[in-house]
Amino acid sequence: MSPELSAVLRRKIDEIAARYPKREAALLPILHLVQREVGFISSDEERFVAQALGLKPIKVREVVTFYTMLLRRPVGKYHLQVCSNLSCSLLGAGPLLDYLKQKLGIEVGETTADGRFTLSTVECLGGCEQAPCMMVNSDYHGFLDRDKIDRILEGLV
Amino acid sequence: MAFWTGTRSTGSWKAWYRTLNEKVLTRHFGVEGLHRIDIYLKYGGYGAAEKALKKMTPSEVLEEVKKANLRGRGGAGFPAGVKWGFVPQNIPKPRYLCVNADEGEPGTFKDRYLMSHNPHLLLEGAIIASYAVGIHSAFIYIHGEYEAIALRLEEAIGEALGKGYLGEKILGTEFGLNVVVHRGAGAYICGEETALLESLEGKRGHPRLKPPFPASVGLFGCPTVINNVETLSNIPFIIQNGAEWFIRQGLPKDGGTRIFGVSGQVSKPGIYELPLGTRLRSIIFDHAGGMKDGKKLKAVIPGGMSAPILTADEIDLPMDFDSLVGAGSMLGSAAIIVIDEETSILDVLEAVAKFYSHESCGQCTPCRIGTSWINKIVRRLAAGQGEPGDIDTIVRLASNIKGKTLCPLGDAAALPILSICQKFRSELERYIPHA
Amino acid sequence: MPKIFIDGQAIEVEAGWTVLKAAEAAGVHIPHLCYHPAFAPEGSCRMCLVEIEGLPKLELACSTTVKDGLKVNTQSPKVVEARKAVLEFLLAEHPLDCPICDQAGECKLQDYFEEYGLFRSQFKETKEKREKKLRLGRNLILDRERCILCTRCVRFLNEITKTKDAGVLNRGLRSEIGIFESELIDNNYSGNLAQICPVGAITDLDFRFKTRVWLLESRESICGLCSRGCNITIDSHPGHPRIPRVRRVYRIRARENPDVNSYWICDYGRYGYASLDENREDQLVWRKDGRLTRLSWDRVVQILGQKVKSLTFHRRTDRIGIVLNSNLTNEELFLADRIFRKGLGLHKFWLADPPQEKGDGWLLTPERTANRRGLQEIGWPLPAAEPRELLGLDLLLIFGPYLASGPGLADLKSVLDKVETKALFTSHVSGLDGLVDFIIPVPVIAEKGGSLTNVDGRVQTFAPALGFEGEGLPEWRALLDLARELRVDSKYFWPMDTPRAVFLALQREIPFFRR
């Protein structure tokens, strides 16, 4: 982490921590922030956040490894998170996932060689009325079918 | 800001909403820009908050909400007024309100609609609730994936602060309230109230032992009220129109409307705000357009994945808390998942088993090991390697989880699995190759 | 006093007790894994579920508070079934490691399976494979397959040492205990983690693979390595006809004492058991003209007695010196006072103790002897022994090898060479051995009976936990033999034949010991 980024993050961390009666409560929003800036949370970031909040690093790792959205390894530029829960499965999420795997040439959990796409499955996104749906980074896409997937991927450079 | 990138046009949303009637919470959903405070105010927004803060005492507000028989809209269905009444008033600790916006129950998306279309309604409800209980600090714990919605809420909070509806001395009264939006990070268990508190305190989402209950020992050890988004969104209407009016929108023991979220193999998936007591058959076939592609109905999950499954014969059922309990299921989050005849019930069981084993927090023995053991058996069944006795084992394991776990997730896993195995036993057995 | 009923038996309870505590008080055992009296109830293992009349679901005994009239059933069919269910879940993902697991014989899972389980496994799936040899601490290994996630280890480090070294990582079945990178648990209490782990997940490197617990004898004792006086249990091998004994003491464990050490001992004491077996002085010898002759204690008493009588006769008692140490028991220090100071009127006494070191801020004290406080209360205002001061003596009785741990062993040699007769009463071999005439092996605290006074003034009585295998005898018996030989106050000393008898006299004469 560059010293500039470190300084910027520290200021933001103090801002966020001030919203809570106890500083440690800000851990989750701070981890979201760090992940947005750095891309993922490695042991360096865990140490950084721990130090900023006055926690032991293991306590930060406890939290990072508990929550699905917090990533410990880098992902591609576009993280394709396909819902694999019931309503989406009922409307064909399974075959669409296979289509994505075949189209991108990767398995679930992997990243394309050019670093553009990472494919994951997730549980209920709360977009069930537009099933099957997926989240690309933080954007929701629903009513998916092969054509729509093609169009979405084309738009992601 | 568009939540869905390039799906339906706004025009057809409005047309669709106009087909619904008797709406309370969703009445103005078709209004463009409702999420902005100037539009919200134009439609009478913050009027109930003003009435409560200026014309009623906190205990009067509390009494009105109690009389309205508003039961929690998150899943547990606990009467909101009664819960508020548990908070002790005379201890020298701050009190907190946590809005449970961690919409993680599979099939549920109603709070997403409420927060994205009408965030100020939620804020107004939170203000009135906080006033009733003596709370000056509220946190909205929102489903981590709802990042755009979280931003919308923060914008709304900014607007409300700017116009004096939040912050110190709201509307010139002595009452003040601050609201902080706090995003989760992908853990269903954080929708359980004590796990939500743990997560809000910066820790793993491990549910706590109860007693003590959050009303006495909650966030940071202080008395805390936790309410669902829809529950709080009803509060302004109760205050504005009165408890008796509210009861008339529903049933005597279950006041108000319910936002039913219909998904799965129906023609018109979406939210449907209807009176409590509306029949399930009517919701599916009259409102949600009936089965998709003209298929036949096989099964319905009536209240989110944690609600035991109903067969096609069981849908002549009024959708209210007590009727569903009577039918061996629950109203839960009023998320209706429709399953057609061509879907394999094993696929349904697979989704259920996978979900709970993925979401188990891992704290207590039966859930940590039981949900994954069941998942392993179901995966084996799905791979064609089932053995005689496997369904019996699944039933036994689910029964061993039921009633023995630290938090309700155990039952949320066990009861649906038991209901699927019981009601669709013969179909499941067909997946086991006999020796 | 409120009263509850457990399995029909009426039990008086105190307000605030849990059902589990009430049951333990009444001698009813309710199985539990995650519960430990040192921590707040965790409620995660679910093993202690019991039936409470009037409540629809089973409730946890560890966290349900008693109410007057509560009726608890710990043996109903529902409870029995629930216990089997929890055990079945635990064993489903548990490796069948008993043949290679150190915990065998003292494992809660084994015990409970035997008592409440005894079912055939129905688990046909693939068990989770996990790390089996994670280095967790200086002396600790973690086997993640065996771990039942009771989190006692994490809670100990959070609440007791407050060092927060470990945590629970991942979620669901993937949950596992871990440390951050390779930051090993490294504090003076880490050994307690292996002791409180109910299964063989955390094992002590010091004990790993060395023996089986059923081959060991467990006896109670007091740790003598500092002045805290922690209560311990010593696990030693008594020797078996066809199994060769490789060593004697295998392990020291903490023993509960709410007034002294709670449930814990420090690593310094836990791993200090080597001093019980290593470098022990075993043979009673007389170094004469460079040769070592074995002889009996009776003979030594005669020789020493003659020397004392001769010096007394010639009114040269100022040429007799005694070096004491503060590892001696209350009884021994009392006898030394009554025999040498009061009885014989000697006045040349010194103290030689191991050097003071740093305390750890909790149990481990800077004084590294067991009875400093006893020394004070019995009234010994002793100066530390300086070699020069030992000049001009004809007879020197040295108790303990600690003179050798002071500076200037070479100086000491030149001084001691000028002392005509020197007798050393020591438990351990040291540099003094070559400088004295008589070496009399004595037992360590674990091999003696008696009492010690800890740093807070608490008097603790103990019995031998190990047999003394040297040719000597305990100091208290040696002192009484000398008293008899020298006919010092026969009426007073003659009836004393046990440490207890000495203690009763000590109590009569010194009010402090009557508290």
Task: For C215-235, write each residue's pLDDT tens digit.
Answer: 999 999 999 999 999 999 999
Report residue B9's pLDDT band, with 50, 70 and 90 as the boundaries. Answer: very low
Q: What is the pTM of this model?
A: 0.94
Please give the average per-residue pLDDT across B317-342, as a whole number: 96
Question: Is the pLDDT confidence value at C185 over 90?
Answer: yes
Shortest Cα distance, chain C CAs vs residue A145, angstroms: 32
Nearest Cα of chain B lies from the Cα of A140 at a distance, in angstroms, of: 6
- Measure C125 CA to nearest chain B CA, in Å: 6
What percent of chain C clears pLDDT 70, i.e. is strictly above it? 100
Residue A8's domain is classified under what CATH number?
A: 1.10.10
Structural domain includes residue A72: no
Shared domain for A99 and A129, answered yes or no, is yes
With contacts defined as CB-CB under 8 Å, which chain C residues touch A46?
180
Interface of A with C (CB under 8 A): 43, 46, 56-59, 61-62, 65-66
- In order of start, what are the domains of chain B with their CATH numbers? 10-248 (3.40.50.11540), 257-340 (3.10.20.600), 345-429 (1.20.1440.230)
Q: What are phi and psi of B270, to 5 degrees?
A: 160, -170
Using CB atoms, list chains with 3+ pairs below 8 Å to chain A. Answer: B, C
Instruction: Show residues of chain C in contact with A43, CB under 8 Å.
Output: 180-181
Q: Which residues pair with C135 in a beta bridge?
A: C141
Asked if residue A134 belongs to a domain, the reply is: yes
B15 pLDDT tier (thresholds 50, 70, 90): very low
Instruction: Name every residue in B having a CB less than 8 A away from some CB of C.
Output: 187, 204, 209, 357-366, 368-373, 376-377, 380, 387, 393, 396, 400, 403-406
- The mean-pLDDT minimum among A43-57, B180-194, B245-259, C195-209 falls in B245-259
**At B13, is the pLDDT very low, low, confident or very high (cuts 50, 70, 90)?**
low
Of B357, B360, B404, the CB nearest to C58: B404
pLDDT tens, residue by residue, B97-148: 999 999 999 999 999 999 999 999 999 999 999 999 999 999 999 999 999 9
A98 in a structural domain: yes
Q: Taking a C-beta distance cutoff of 8 angstroms, is the pair C232, C255 a contact?
A: yes
Tell how far CA A141 is from the center of its chain.
Answer: 15
Let me know if residue A71 belongs to a domain.
Answer: no
Write down which residue in A66, A89, A119 finishes a domain: A66
Cβ-based contacts of C178 with chain A (< 8 Å):
58, 61
Mean pLDDT is lowest, of B12-26, B233-247, C135-149, C394-408, for B12-26
How far B327 CA sits from the closest chain A CA (Å)? Answer: 22
Shared domain check, A140 and A85: yes
Task: Determine the residue among C88, C173, C177 to mutate to test chain B binding: the one whose Cβ has the most chain B Cβ atoms within 10 Å.
Answer: C173
Whether B398 has a pLDDT exceeding 90, the answer reads yes
pLDDT at A153: 96
Sheet holding B137-142, edge to edge: B178-183, B137-142, B96-101, B224-228
The partner residue sitting opposite C125, judged by closest CB among B360, B361, B373, is: B373
Q: Does C159 touch chain A (CB under 8 A)?
A: no
Same domain for A88 and A143, yes or no, is yes
A51, A26: one domain: yes
A119 in the same domain as A53: no
Give which of A20, A34, A58, A129 to mutate to test B binding, by max B Cβ within 10 Å.
A129
* Chain mean pLDDT for chain B: 94
Cα–Cα distance for residue pair C462/C499, rounded to 1 Å:
10
Q: Name chain A contacts of C183, Cβ cutoff 8 Å.
A: 57-58
Sign of the torsion angle spanned by Cα atoms B203, B206, B207, B213: negative
Q: In terms of DSSP H, where are the helices of chain A?
A: 3-17, 27-38, 43-53, 57-66, 86-90, 93-104, 146-155
CB contact under 8 A, B368 and C63: no
Nearest CB to A58 within list C164, C170, C171: C164
Q: Which domain holds residue A31?
A: 3-66
- C-alpha to C-alpha distance for C58 and B89, rounded to whole angstroms: 32
Q: Is residue A24 part of a domain?
A: yes
CA distance C157 to chain A (A): 12
Selected for mutation to probe chain B from C52, C62, C89, C164 (highest B CB count within 10 Å) is C89
State residue C271's pLDDT score. Answer: 97
- Answer for the pair C53, C74: CB distance below 8 angstroms, yes or no: no
Residue-wise pLDDT tens digits, B63-92: 999 999 999 999 989 999 999 999 999 889
Q: Which residue of B has its CA nearest to A19?
A: B180
**Are B19 and B25 within 8 A, CB to CB?**
no
Tell me: the pLDDT tens digits for B235-267? 999 999 999 999 999 888 889 999 999 999 999
User: Is pLDDT at B435 greater than 70 in this prediction?
Assistant: no
Q: Has residue A124 been placed in a domain? A: yes
Nearest CA in chain B to A123: B355
pLDDT digits (tens, 9 = 90+) for B25-61: 999 998 999 999 999 999 999 999 999 999 999 999 9
Confidence of residue B434 (pLDDT cuts 50, 70, 90): confident
Q: What is the average pLDDT across C35-61?
A: 97
Residue C91 has pLDDT above 80, yes or no: yes
Q: What is the number of domains present in chain A?
A: 2
C83/chain A closest Cα distance in angstroms: 29
Domains of chain C and CATH, by start: 3-92 (3.10.20.740), 125-277 (3.30.70.20), 285-514 (3.40.50.740)
For C:112-141, CB contacts with B below 8 A are 122-126
Residues of B within 8 A of C122 (CB-CB) are 393, 396
Return the percentage of chain A with pLDDT > 70, whole number.
100
The band of C447, judged by pLDDT with boundaries at 50, 70 and 90, is very high
CB contact under 8 A, A141 and B5: yes
Q: Which residues are CB-neighbours of C396 under 8 A, at least 6 positions away?
A: C320, C321, C322, C323, C390, C416, C419, C421, C422, C423
Per residue, what are the HEC states of B368-432?
HHHHHHHHHHHHHHHCCCCCCCHHHHHHHHHHHHCCCCCCCHHHHHHHHHHHHHHHCHHHHHCCC
Determine, for residues C57 and B403 on separate chains, whether the beta-carbon distance falls below 8 Å.
yes
Are A150 and A87 contained in the same domain? Answer: yes
A56 and A100 inside one domain: no
**Contact: A66, C170; criterion CB under 8 Å:** yes
Residues of A with CB under 8 A from a CB of B: 19-22, 24-29, 31-32, 53, 59, 62-63, 66-70, 84-87, 89-91, 122-131, 135, 138-143
What is the per-residue pLDDT across C287-296, written as a single tens digit (0 to 9) for each? Answer: 988 899 999 9
Name the band, by pLDDT with cuts 50, 70 and 90, for residue B22.
Answer: low
Tell me what the pLDDT averaged over chain C comes to. 95
Q: Is A146 found in the same domain as A108?
A: yes
What integer is the mean pLDDT of A73-98? 97
At B134, is the secondary structure helix, strand, or coil?
Answer: coil
Q: Which of B111, B182, B187 sits opposite A66 (nearest CB)?
A: B187
Q: What is the mean predicted confidence (pLDDT) over B277-304?
A: 96
- To the nearest whole Å, the CA of A7 is away from the closest chain B CA by 22
Residues A107 and A151 in one domain: yes
Q: Number of Cβ pairs closer than 8 Å across B and C?
A: 90
- Chain B window 19-58: which residues touch A at a Cβ cutoff of 8 Å? none
Residue C252, pLDDT > 80, answer yes
Q: Does C184 touch chain A (CB under 8 A)?
A: no
Q: Give the closest-approach CA distance of A119 to chain B in angstroms.
A: 16
- Neighbouring chains of B at 3+ CB pairs under 8 Å are A, C
Report if residue A142 sits inside a domain: yes
Cα of B34 to nearest chain A Cα, Å: 21
More confident residue, B197 or B8: B197
pLDDT digits (tens, 9 = 90+) for C352-411: 999 999 999 999 999 999 999 999 999 988 888 888 888 889 999 999 999 987 677 778
CA distance C161 to chain A (A): 14
**Same domain flag for A105 and A55:** no
Q: Which residues of B touch A53 (CB under 8 A)?
A: 202
pLDDT of residue B6: 36
Range from A8-22, B10-24, C162-176 carrying the lowest mean pLDDT: B10-24
Q: Across the interface, do B183 and A32 touch by the CB < 8 Å criterion? A: yes
Average pLDDT estimate for B367-391:
97
pLDDT in the model for residue A1: 84
Average pLDDT on C302-315 reads 95
Same domain assignment for residues A151 and A109: yes
Contact A127 B112 (CB under 8 A): yes
* Average pLDDT rounded to a whole number, residues A53-61: 97
- Of C170, C171, C180, nearest to A57 by CB-CB distance is C180
Contact partners for chain C, using 3 or more CB pairs closer than 8 A, are A, B
d(CA C323, CA A64): 61
SS3 B97: strand
The pLDDT score that the predictor gives to residue B17 is: 46
Q: State what percent of residues in chain B have pLDDT above 90.
A: 90
CATH of the domain at A139: 3.40.30.10
Tell me which residue of B125, B79, B53, B83 sits closest to B223, measured CA to CA. B83
Distance in angstroms (rounded) separating the CA atoms of residues C264 and C36: 12
Judged by phi (left if over 0) then psi (alpha if -120 to 50, else beta), residue C331 lies in alpha
Could you tell me if B271 and B260 are in contact, meaning their C-beta atoms sit under 8 angstroms apart? yes
Residue among B345, B435, B340, B331 nearest B394 (CA): B345
The answer to whether the CB of B283 falls within 8 A of the CB of B336 is yes
What per-residue confidence (pLDDT) applies to A126?
Answer: 97
Residues A39 and A94 in one domain: no
